[in-house]
Amino acid sequence: MENFPKVGRLVHVRIDKIPWQDCGDIHLTRAIEHLAVTEKMMRKSGLSPLKENVALPESYLEPYWNWETQKKHEIVKVPIQKAILQASISGPMICNFLPSRT
C-alpha cells in the first residue's frame, strides 16, 4: 500500500485467471497486470490484503513502474469486480481450428 495525495491509501494488485471467452472446448483466461485501487474500494469489494510488502518477480513490477511514470495516474474508484467487468469488454473473437490429421 502507499499513500497517494488527495486519494488516500492505494493498493496495487494484479489479477490472474479472469475467465474471458470460450473457443469450443478451450476456455481462455486473461490477466490485468496492474490496478491501483483505493483501500476503500478494496474493502468494499470484500477483499483485504493478507500481506504487505511482498517480494514479487520483476515481470510483475514492470506494469507498476509504467503506471508510476504516467503524468495522470489511473486509479480504480469502483469495487474490483466492476473494474474487472469494465476491463473485460472487447470485440468478437474468432476461433480458427485446423482439422486434425490422424
How many beta carbons lie within 10 A of that of residue 11, not counting itself?
A: 20
Q: Would residue 93 count as lying in a domain?
A: no
Q: Would residue 92 count as lying in a domain?
A: no
Q: Would residue 102 count as lying in a domain?
A: no
Name the grid cell of 83.
473494474
Domain of residue 62: give its range: 2-87
pLDDT level of residue 4 (50, 70, 90 thresholds): confident
Q: Would residue 80 count as lying in a domain?
A: yes
Collapsing DSSP to helix, strand or coil, 42 comes out as helix
pLDDT, tens only, 14-30: 888 887 777 777 777 78
102, pLDDT greater than 60:
no
Model confidence, pTM: 0.71
pLDDT, tens only, 45-96: 887 667 777 788 888 889 999 999 998 989 988 988 888 887 765 556 666 6
How many beta carbons lie within 10 A of that of residue 76, not counting itself?
A: 22
Q: How many domains does the chain have?
A: 1
Q: Would residue 61 count as lying in a domain?
A: yes
Q: Would residue 96 count as lying in a domain?
A: no
